[in-house]
Structure 1
């Protein structure tokens, strides 16, 4: 193909990943996207794309793509539909929602998450619509809320180290993060730091791809990270390794913290974490004496009962050592708090009348089966709760209700789509306009549509505009175009305009190399708060909150179900996205099980096994390994139920219990047992 026949359009990866990669889409003279590649000009992503997105055009043009509105013709869950017009679809949805709203609008539940991270397609016209309708509010907790609140009560927001300075670190703790799978562009900075003498240590229950390539992997019992952080603080203060000047100037509550961490000597922490005292002593001294030191935390470790406090404890460590003083020093979970967007201008909470209830999305099963007043209509978009929500059997029980009117906006016929009454075809990132922030770098980015929508697909924003119009909502905000809303969102970012983004594709926030070198944390005190008055009803000081399902905290349950199940992202999947495209690359659902645990159960690699507890069960093929520690099994996820043997995935065993802070899901706080499948 001659270059003059190809148009190149700037785009952004929309998926739930910290890297938010800059992409280039090549479009031929017929208007078809023929190639997606990374944009080499972007300073952070440098032209790289992960294995999932490198052929994104194949997802857009996949033969199974939903292209037309559909209505259900069979039983819920059977996945039988027939094509209808957009007029019939919008009329039907509007009429059903209006009928429910007439009796009680709180009986309508919007259910969405991070199928796209775009500010417009993910959280703008949809929020306006449901706010104006008076629907129940959704507390979007399922992925990251515990960690985000843990940071908020410590450093003030989802802020941390500038990731572009990590190559200047001298010691790097990768704590519960498989960077090579889920944050690949940061790995380049880490490797550069290593080439300059930095040591890389990974703390993780599983020896992941990242752990394999680190200088050391330290296996920890799931859910005990908060105790390890307290033990490290104990050693730092016991051995006078702290930066007292930084503490005195830029922290709050040091004396109280000092008293608290005395309760966590290495001997106690070793019993809790399964890490030897010698190892705890050694890595603490390495971390404290090699400056600047950097900690990369990820979300897996906050999916336990004490997940919010665990992140809070870890984020106290850099302030004790003064690591924030230096480029490359500090810690990072998310950079999203650096972006000063005024989300209210997109979401318009001022449209809410009265005080509608709030439903925690991590307890969807309970909401669909026990809420009072009941949920009578649900609109699902940007998520696949039939596969990804905890306590799956209860969720599916709710979705099967014949008196529940369910609308699903989707690209493919997912597990959740099979339960829809009306199925609406949504555009992919190549077909719509959007504005992006990131949670792994600090660039504002613009996605420009490269092609016309396929079939009769429509952007989320347009679908909710149509519904607002059909319901007679006359508020001027429902007339806003996507570009109007982008300008509204950008108004709070000094000096960044939509015109600049159209020209350049992305613009950095300019947070500086060491944003907290002189304090300035976005907390009420302006300091790193070891003591947080806002947490006084839980515990204002860092504490260890054990898992609910654990050998120490719940020994009776552990006798019955002695293995901890974790279900981190499979390398070729992102949540439940890409499962239908790349299932062959993951060779089916697998369960990694330690050699000793496999031996007593007479399980061999390749054997079909059943993983079970009192909540449910699922099937997988065993992989006997030493990559996971004894007592821990790992099921890479999240598979669609309809694509696996037995029709159930790991969430058939997870619970709807929530975290200490932030109301987050506790996917990895999960005891199971394993047996050979019949």
Structure 2
């Protein structure tokens, strides 16, 4: 239902959670305009009413006493409330002044993880219409490397077919902490007989439901993938008919794979020869009903892109692509595009970082946020002087946080839209209150079945604009209002779904979503693959044209080169997920924060003994970028490899990104090496406290 009077509503509304990106169905119970209770939707066939700990805290979020409900302007070192209309007028005047002095591309837009594709495209539309190509996001450090790498092989980013899978390979991911719906799907698949393999440097909480766990040295995923490929080809376990008819580059793949004998792969990865063979045989025996869940773990290394390309080659080699129980390739719906008519405004202007990392740009039409810091501080390659950031917290989530903080402080105009006063928002000139996901209506897509759904606006606060309200109102004030002709987000959503022949009201009534197309497997027989050749590409001419290797060549991660071993004794893994939080989000919800108030340094018992550390001791962790103080958690012997450490990211008080590098990058996609940081650890006095230096 579409609520018209939010202050007097008495009803229950089916909509979708947005405490993470997986949009679980929920039921919102409203009395006199106030939400009294939220539950999972028991009628939904997939989630069956299950909600994670984050989903149970939705009310804590939307009614938090710490929420920003009034626009703020920084005057000196203090915040002053300001009328929204006046704030928008001042911001627009400053945007136009910067544009006149430096050009349109000196203004950037930064969209956060909390925005879904439609909301993100509203930001893109503003930027392109204004004339700037400089759109930035968390995609610089998360998810896009694996998406682009896999797409370069099979033509798209697949959805695992857990329901029909006989074998599920979870590689560098912890769905139990990061994506609860996936965890439940995998758990259900295991009950149906699917075998679950976990490959990860840490024995995470997900390992409890894995049949087999294989601890791997960080950044050696490509060596393992090539070892598996070699075994499968040597034993002729691959799908020979599929390879012959639907792939290119097999001969080059087979020849290169011969280098990865069992002895070398075992030494490189830390996985025994028997276990490497066991992984390979399990995959081969279950093919083509094998599906993969590759997490951010493998991509956050300086060799991550090609490592993941190699992983993608395994499934394709065994004929698992777009087959039941394998990796499904979805067919997106035909919708009106928010960017197609305005992208031409900036086609001649590439965003910051596009020249250095064209593959990233081709995949996302975005600039590189790491490189943007140089544009702010050093005018390299040109000045970036104004930034509008919505729903992001890069001071906490980007590497080399000290540089990020310094760069953002240097801007002539910095505007932040958020629900809370984050560490990033504290640096802004203006902070504007944003609408939560329950205060906006947006279109979202599901992949199995292939659906489009409408989330319901069930709540509103004065001055908390949704994405369309903000960007359209700002557009009018900077002279591009003609590109935002829709009256409100409902009218915008109507226009977007016009090609479906479905009204917004009809869509709103479909709690489980509108199935725009029944899923068809093995589309490649008729349509081929969405690659330049129309086939699975074990070798890529697309990558070769940019000067990269055609094959996913394995190069050892920087920390394995030996250059760092004389100076640093440990390798730090950062960013393992905590189930109560979504990266930097929800740390200000008291009951979640109480459960996990601080990150800890996870360390192997033998390493702790060598340093004479006890559980809870205070240590200083030092990298080439800086130091931080943190307490120790001595884990079980099988939970982390010797010589490796782990600190979870997202915490204000102990921000691990103060010590992560922004200059050790994957040469193809530009992702930073957040999962393999050389560090030293020193015990320090208790009075030093937990903080970053």
TM-score (norm 2): 0.88
Partner of 1:503: 509
Partner of 1:462: 469
Using the TM superposition, give the Cα deviation of residue 300 of structure 1 relative to its aligned residue in structure 2, in angstroms.
Answer: 2.0
Partner of 1:596: 606
- For the structure 1 residues 412 and 337, does the alpha-carbon distance in structure 2 shift closer, same or farther, using more than 3 Å as the test? farther
Alignment of 1:538-557 (within 5 A): 538-548=548-558, 550=559, 552-553=560-561, 555-557=562-564
Q: What secondary structure is seen at the aligned counterpart in 1 of 2:588?
A: helix
Partner of 1:622: 632
Using the TM superposition, give the Cα deviation of residue 267 of structure 1 relative to its aligned residue in structure 2, in angstroms.
Answer: 1.4
Task: State which drifts further: 363-372 or 141-150.
Answer: 363-372
Q: What secondary structure is seen at the aligned counterpart in 2 of 1:437?
A: strand
Using the TM superposition, give the Cα deviation of residue 624 of structure 1 relative to its aligned residue in structure 2, in angstroms.
Answer: 0.6
Contact 1:8/1:27, CA 8 A, preserved across alignment = yes
1:428-462 per-residue CA deviation (whole Å, 9 max, x = no partner) reads 011111111257874322111001x2242111221
Aligned counterpart for 1:314 among listed residues 311, 315, 325? 311
Q: What secondary structure is seen at the aligned counterpart in 2 of 1:285?
A: helix
Using the TM superposition, give the Cα deviation of residue 668 of structure 1 relative to its aligned residue in structure 2, in angstroms.
Answer: 1.6
Q: What secondary structure is seen at the aligned counterpart in 2 of 1:27?
A: strand
- Alpha-carbon distance in structure 2 between the residues aligned to 1:211 and 1:114: 27
- Alpha-carbon distance in structure 2 between the residues aligned to 1:497 and 1:91: 35
Contact 1:16/1:117, CA 8 A, preserved across alignment = no
- For the structure 1 residues 560 and 476, does the alpha-carbon distance in structure 2 shift closer, same or farther, using more than 3 Å as the test? closer
Alignment of 1:225-304 (within 5 A): 225-291=221-287, 292-304=289-301
- For the structure 1 residues 294 and 159, does the alpha-carbon distance in structure 2 shift closer, same or farther, using more than 3 Å as the test? closer
RMSD of aligned alpha carbons: 2.4
Partner of 2:94: 96
Q: What secondary structure is seen at the aligned counterpart in 2 of 1:412?
A: coil
- For the structure 1 residues 325 and 471, does the alpha-carbon distance in structure 2 shift closer, same or farther, using more than 3 Å as the test? closer
- For the structure 1 residues 89 and 20, does the alpha-carbon distance in structure 2 shift closer, same or farther, using more than 3 Å as the test? same
Q: What secondary structure is seen at the aligned counterpart in 2 of 1:619?
A: strand
Task: State which drifts further: 497-506 or 98-107.
Answer: 497-506
Alignment of 1:243-642 (within 5 A): 243-291=239-287, 292-324=289-321, 326-330=323-327, 338=332, 341=335, 343-345=337-339, 348-352=342-346, 355=349, 357-358=351-352, 359-372=367-380, 373-401=382-410, 404-437=412-445, 442-451=450-459, 453-479=460-486, 481-491=488-498, 494=500, 498-505=504-511, 506-510=513-517, 512=519, 514-515=521-522, 518=525, 520-536=528-544, 537-548=547-558, 550=559, 552-553=560-561, 555-566=562-573, 567-581=575-589, 582-625=592-635, 626=637, 627-640=639-652
- Alpha-carbon distance in structure 1 between the residues aligned to 2:186 and 2:348: 50
- Alpha-carbon distance in structure 2 between the residues aligned to 1:34 and 1:216: 43
Using the TM superposition, give the Cα deviation of residue 479 of structure 1 relative to its aligned residue in structure 2, in angstroms.
Answer: 4.1
- For the structure 1 residues 136 and 189, does the alpha-carbon distance in structure 2 shift closer, same or farther, using more than 3 Å as the test? closer
Partner of 1:143: 142
Task: State which drifts further: 631-640 or 483-492.
Answer: 483-492
Contact 2:454/2:507, CA 8 A, preserved across alignment = yes
- For the structure 1 residues 509 and 624, does the alpha-carbon distance in structure 2 shift closer, same or farther, using more than 3 Å as the test? farther
Contact 1:346/1:489, CA 8 A, preserved across alignment = no
- For the structure 1 residues 362 and 321, does the alpha-carbon distance in structure 2 shift closer, same or farther, using more than 3 Å as the test? same
Q: What is the aligned residue count?
A: 650
- Alpha-carbon distance in structure 1 between the residues aligned to 2:501 and 2:274: 52
- Alpha-carbon distance in structure 2 between the residues aligned to 1:342 and 1:239: 49
Task: State which drifts further: 558-567 or 246-255.
Answer: 558-567
Partner of 1:664: 671
Partner of 2:211: 215
Contact 2:300/2:671, CA 8 A, preserved across alignment = yes
- Alpha-carbon distance in structure 1 between the residues aligned to 2:141 and 2:171: 20
Aligned counterpart for 2:67 among listed residues 49, 65, 68? 65
Using the TM superposition, give the Cα deviation of residue 168 of structure 1 relative to its aligned residue in structure 2, in angstroms.
Answer: 2.5
Partner of 1:201: 197
Alignment of 1:82-231 (within 5 A): 82-103=80-101, 104-120=103-119, 122-124=120-122, 126-140=123-137, 141-161=140-160, 163=161, 166-231=162-227
1:174-225 per-residue CA deviation (whole Å, 9 max, x = no partner) reads 1111111122222333233323333212100110111132122111011111
Alignment of 1:68-83 (within 5 A): 68-75=70-77, 80-83=78-81
Q: What secondary structure is seen at the aligned counterpart in 1 of 2:629?
A: strand
Q: What secondary structure is seen at the aligned counterpart in 2 of 1:295?
A: strand
- For the structure 1 residues 467 and 196, does the alpha-carbon distance in structure 2 shift closer, same or farther, using more than 3 Å as the test? closer
Aligned counterpart for 2:11 among listed residues 7, 30, 33? 7
- Alpha-carbon distance in structure 1 between the residues aligned to 2:624 and 2:377: 19
Indicate whether 1:675 and 2:666 are aligned: no
1:113-160 per-residue CA deviation (whole Å, 9 max, x = no partner) reads 31222513x321x22222222234225423122111101210112224
Using the TM superposition, give the Cα deviation of residue 420 of structure 1 relative to its aligned residue in structure 2, in angstroms.
Answer: 0.7
Using the TM superposition, give the Cα deviation of residue 283 of structure 1 relative to its aligned residue in structure 2, in angstroms.
Answer: 1.5
Contact 1:573/1:637, CA 8 A, preserved across alignment = no
Larger RCO: 1 or 2 (CA < 8 Å, sep 6+): 1
Partner of 2:4: none
Contact 2:159/2:447, CA 8 A, preserved across alignment = no
Contact 2:121/2:338, CA 8 A, preserved across alignment = no
Using the TM superposition, give the Cα deviation of residue 592 of structure 1 relative to its aligned residue in structure 2, in angstroms.
Answer: 0.8
Contact 1:252/1:531, CA 8 A, preserved across alignment = yes
Q: What secondary structure is seen at the aligned counterpart in 2 of 1:525?
A: coil
- Alpha-carbon distance in structure 2 between the residues aligned to 1:441 and 1:619: 47
- Alpha-carbon distance in structure 1 between the residues aligned to 2:438 and 2:203: 36
Using the TM superposition, give the Cα deviation of residue 466 of structure 1 relative to its aligned residue in structure 2, in angstroms.
Answer: 1.5
Using the TM superposition, give the Cα deviation of residue 341 of structure 1 relative to its aligned residue in structure 2, in angstroms.
Answer: 4.9
Using the TM superposition, give the Cα deviation of residue 483 of structure 1 relative to its aligned residue in structure 2, in angstroms.
Answer: 2.6
Contact 1:100/1:107, CA 8 A, preserved across alignment = yes
1:619-670 per-residue CA deviation (whole Å, 9 max, x = no partner) reads 2221111211112211122112xxx15xx43343232443233333432232
Using the TM superposition, give the Cα deviation of residue 6 of structure 1 relative to its aligned residue in structure 2, in angstroms.
Answer: 4.1
Using the TM superposition, give the Cα deviation of residue 96 of structure 1 relative to its aligned residue in structure 2, in angstroms.
Answer: 0.7
- For the structure 1 residues 404 and 476, does the alpha-carbon distance in structure 2 shift closer, same or farther, using more than 3 Å as the test? closer
Aligned counterpart for 1:45 among listed residues 44, 47, 51? 47
Q: What secondary structure is seen at the aligned counterpart in 2 of 1:583?
A: helix
Task: State which drifts further: 515-524 or 578-587.
Answer: 515-524
Using the TM superposition, give the Cα deviation of residue 278 of structure 1 relative to its aligned residue in structure 2, in angstroms.
Answer: 1.5
1:285-317 per-residue CA deviation (whole Å, 9 max, x = no partner) reads 121112422222112211111212122111111
1:69-111 per-residue CA deviation (whole Å, 9 max, x = no partner) reads 1011344xxxx31101112201110111110001122221212
Aligned counterpart for 1:28 among listed residues 16, 19, 31? 31
